[in-house]
Amino acid sequence: MASRSNLKVTFITIFFFFFLIFLQPLSLFANMGIENQDELLRSLGSSMVLPLFLQTPNSSHQLESSFHRQLKMLEHQHPNARMRLYDDLLANGYYTTRLWIGTPPQEFALIVDSGSTVTYVPCSTCEQCGKHQDPKFQPDLSSTYQPVKCSLDCNCNSENTQCIYERQYAEMSSSSGVLGEDIVSFGNGSALEPQRAVFGCENEETGDLYSQHADGIMGLGRGQLSILDQLVDKGVIGDSFSLCYGGMGVGGGAMVLGGITPPTGMVYSHSDPVRSPYYNIELKELHVAGKLLKLDPKIFDGKHGTVLDSGTTYAYLPEAAFLAFKDAIMKNLNHLKQIRGPDPNYNDICFSGAGSVVSELSKTFPAVDMVFDGGNKLSLAPENYLFRHSKVHGAYCLGIFQNGKDPTTLLGGIVVRNTLVTYDRENEKVGFFKTNCSVLWDKVQIVGPNSTEPSIMKNSSIGVSPTMAPTESPMTDKHPGKFKIGVITFDMLLGMKYSDLVPHMGELRDFIANELEVNTSQVHLNSTGTGNETVVSCSIYPKGSAYYFSNTTAKNIIDRFTEHRLTLPGTFGKYQLVEWKVEPPLKRSSWKVYMWAVLGGIAALCLCIASFGLWYLLRQKQQAMGALGTYKPVAVVVPEQELQEL
């Protein structure tokens, strides 16, 4: 019996020894520290993570550049409407955004136009409207629609029952219709709830408006009917908006209605609302290849001055300024061949032999600088004054033209491609900042108060059901409205030297964990020194072996950082949030592969252990059977054994 008992103990010990050794990686994986999780993420490959940013800075220089490119929310009581831009400037001649009107919401693609004041869409009653991207607006299908009744404050229709609008544009197109009021929604990327607003219900359109693919126009100019002015007058957003157009051949971008925190390095020019009904800037000089064009500075101040118009495709200069600019460009292109333009109806100035890589055009075409009041300078890349020749590969044409005999300087969308332009109406200035606008949407389309579920009109003055804006987030999974967050990362600037901070990184991690109400193991810190300040990257991971954060937990963490409710000891100095992002969790498919591999390994190990145990039992049995042959009969006398002392 003693040998069998020892055998059982030995077998159980061996089994649990191997079992615990093999399962140790699983327990470590479930409870490992953040450092090991980082190593695991790297080992699993980049396909496991969907990053929101173009790159993760790995040096102080790259980090500073990334901070400058990051669009940040304004720390005001006002939310803002973050909206995606679509289309391509040169392919379509405009950029559009999506707007939802009515209850239930009807979707429309509208041209973003800072030179217009009225927002309008084709009405179901329109008899002279072209075929556009979306169906016409049907007032009868919206339970919240109300016509704007005729009054002394508006022009009225022939029956004197409803207010009307009429607009004509420089390209000889026109739009007219009646005014209505309804709930307008800005999409799920917006922190701004749907609002009631007055808009145009179009009954007639001519010219390009009739033939264009877009449904209508979203007017961002100054005026009583401007949707921006309506939102500002209600006090729901700050008196500002920003546009960012994508680069040559890329398109896309972002728009924000309301205020933002301007990035460091933004270049400003004064914008006088009294000087012109349009958004103007004070352009003083033009430089080509570093050389000043010999022009009278007053040349850019004729008529309306220098006007920014997002609804215009190209740029137009007064005659003298255009001729000087054209000559300066051509003097720097001696090795390129001048060719005819793509359209024989226009005398475009085009050049071949420059190559097709946009990022390398600066090696061939000169840099252009615009100098504003106060000496502030905005540098233009070749994509800001060129457009691709549609018929000759590697050829480009000037996208800046002479403005006829009109002394106004008109800067269209081509000049501000890959440039964040902030129209700060409250402070009467316009800011410019070079960035990658095509990926800027990912930087502003991050989980906010309304981004995990449809936007809802909480307070309806007319007692209707809540209005929902369709989900617009590009990061939702198969279940609309559910975006799973696996990692939340914040970059903040501390007023403390890097050498002084390093010995206290553990304390800082403890304080952050305590403030965010998470475990210390969930917080991972990296730091980079920049003189008397230190940039700290703080990554927050889900608790234990959790796959992702709950919406409530994620929102709580993000709110504490972005609303500056994080309290740190005075020894660390004040902190400034400069960038934040979220990343999805690891894909489940890879987890399944890993778990199947683990289960397969366990099965193989168990099989080996069972085989070893079976072999051991058979061997012991054989030894026992062999020993039976040496036993003597019961009656045989055997030597008496000595009694052993206790």
Helix (H) or strand (E) holding 197: strand 195-206
CA–CA dist 271, 427 (Å, integer): 9
> Measuring CA to CA, which residue among 207, 53, 100 is closest to residue 583?
53
Q: What tokens appear for 600 in the block?
A: 């397969």
User: In the sheet where 337-339 sits, what is the strand order?
Assistant: 337-339, 350-352, 396-398, 386-388
Helix (H) or strand (E) holding 387: strand 386-388
For β-strands 306-308 and 409-411, DSSP reports them as: parallel
Contact of 303 with 317, CB cutoff 8 Å: no
Q: What tokens appear for 150 in the block?
A: 């005729």
> Measuring CA to CA, which residue among 460, 322, 324, 461 is closest to residue 401?
322
E-only strand ranges, 251-336:
253-257, 260-261, 267-270, 279-281, 283-288, 291-292, 306-308, 315-317
Q: In a 10 Å sphere around its CB, with 0-12 CB exposed, 13-18 middle and 19+ buried, how is residue 460 labelled?
A: middle
SS3 588: helix
- Which region holds residue 297: left if phi is over 0, alpha if psi is between -120 and 50, else beta? alpha
Compute the C-alpha angle 582/585/586, nearest 5°: 140
CA–CA dist 116, 93 (Å, integer): 16
User: Where are the alpha helices (H) located in 306-430, listed in sequence order?
Assistant: 319-331
Q: How many CB atoms lie within 10 A of CB 500?
A: 15
| Residue labelled with tokens 């592969």 | 593
CA–CA dist 233, 222 (Å, integer): 12
Q: What tokens appear for 137 in the block?
A: 């607006």
Bridge partners, residue 380, by sequence: 368
| Catalytic site includes residue 309 | yes
User: In the sheet where 523-530 sits, what is the strand order?
Assistant: 523-530, 533-540, 487-494, 575-583
> Measuring CA to CA, which residue among 278, 127, 122, 123 is closest to residue 212?
122
CA–CA dist 608, 606 (Å, integer): 5
| Catalytic site includes residue 208 | no
CA–CA dist 49, 487 (Å, integer): 10
CA–CA dist 199, 568 (Å, integer): 48
Q: From the candidates 113, 229, 424, 442, give the one annotated as an active-site residue.
A: 113
Contact of 408 with 276, CB cutoff 8 Å: no
Provide the Cα torsion 226, 227, 233, 234; round to 10°: 160
Helix (H) or strand (E) holding 440: helix 440-444
Bridge partners, residue 315, by sequence: 400, 411
Q: From the candidates 229, 309, 424, 442, give the one annotated as an active-site residue.
A: 309
Q: How many CB atoms lie within 10 A of CB 604?
A: 11
Compute the C-alpha angle 101/102/106, nearest 5°: 60
How many helices (DSSP H) and strands (DSSP E) are in the chain? 12, 34
* Positive or negative: CA dihedral 353, 355, 358, 362: negative
- Indicate which residues carry an active-site annotation: 113, 309
